[in-house]
Homo-oligomer: A and B are copies of this chain.
């Protein structure tokens, strides 16, 4: 095993070629196991490569092949549970297929998102997976990607204005419908909704699912029962507080995420309300918090890992199809799953 002195230059195929008195092209082909090289030479090359501590320079290889074997990921925040789970799924699929992932966070800022996309283009990523920021209403920077023939897949949050594109999303409408309907079945008469930023399609859909469930059960939709916020925990707390001050006979809450529900539950337990007896709760996302809070929070499971994995597989499929027959953009909807826990088990009223 060769000892490399600090800062010594890395071995290249030329050094291997020199050492064996053959041509660099033969070395390259040998290393790539090309049928154009004899078994004998391949063995010699491999042996010498090991001896010299050779490691392919993928920068060179990538340049020549005009392919980086890299996928760019943009998420609002890496540390948010749902996104870190999705990323885990993406990484898993990417690793299996020999792709690297580079990850950047938009921090919900459009201008950061644009910068990131530019950087990805400059780095010649083979494809992009993105969950857009709150601020992203104008998607020209993403359309531009498609113009450049760089495959793109949205996951979870997508651009409503782009119809011709790949996306993999949750059945938000259906999940919200189920959740609300479940509360109604448990006997709730006045159900509030914590809505997320209505710039995002997915929160609109959750609101619509809520509305439609009410309507189908002949309950009137009351805008005063809807609180829109960023759905962070403290907003759940505040939303609940201001709702309760205005309307005191709320007996159910469907929250568009778990964090806000948790915040609200904390407020209610502080003011002595019982869950689910006084107010029943259903959240969304199946955040680990939901299982731990007391009482455990009913929620809608989103399968983040699965979504990431599928999104990545779809992207790679698209990458591999480049240059072949025209690509058919695909929309995959993952149907979520209502998990019933104690927070929504209202005792049956005897009437």
Partner-B contacts on A (CB < 8 A): 3-4, 6-8, 10, 55-60, 62-63, 66, 68, 70, 77-81, 83-85, 87-88, 91-92, 95, 100-105, 118-119, 121-124, 147-149, 262, 288-289, 292-294, 305, 322-323
Contacts and interface: CB of A to CB of B under 8 A. Distances in A.
B59 A124 contact: yes
B88 A122 contact: no
30 contacts: A10-B148, A55-B122, A58-B122, A58-B124, A59-B59, A59-B63, A59-B68, A70-B102, A77-B88, A78-B84, A78-B87, A79-B81, A79-B84, A79-B88, A79-B305, A80-B84, A84-B87, A87-B103, A88-B105, A92-B105, A100-B119, A100-B123, A101-B103, A101-B104, A262-B292, A288-B289, A289-B289, A292-B292, A293-B294, A294-B294
Contact of A4 (B88, B124, B148): B148
Nearest to A69: B123
A95 B74 CA distance: 13
Contacts of A124: 57-59
Contacts of A103: 87, 91, 101-103
Contacts of A62: 59
A119 B94 CA distance: 13
Contacts of A57: 63, 122, 124
A79 B59 CA distance: 29
A323 B9 CA distance: 13
A81 B92 CA distance: 17
Nearest to A4: B147
A87 B91 contact: no
B58 A60 contact: no
A272 to B, nearest CB: 15
Nearest to A2: B147
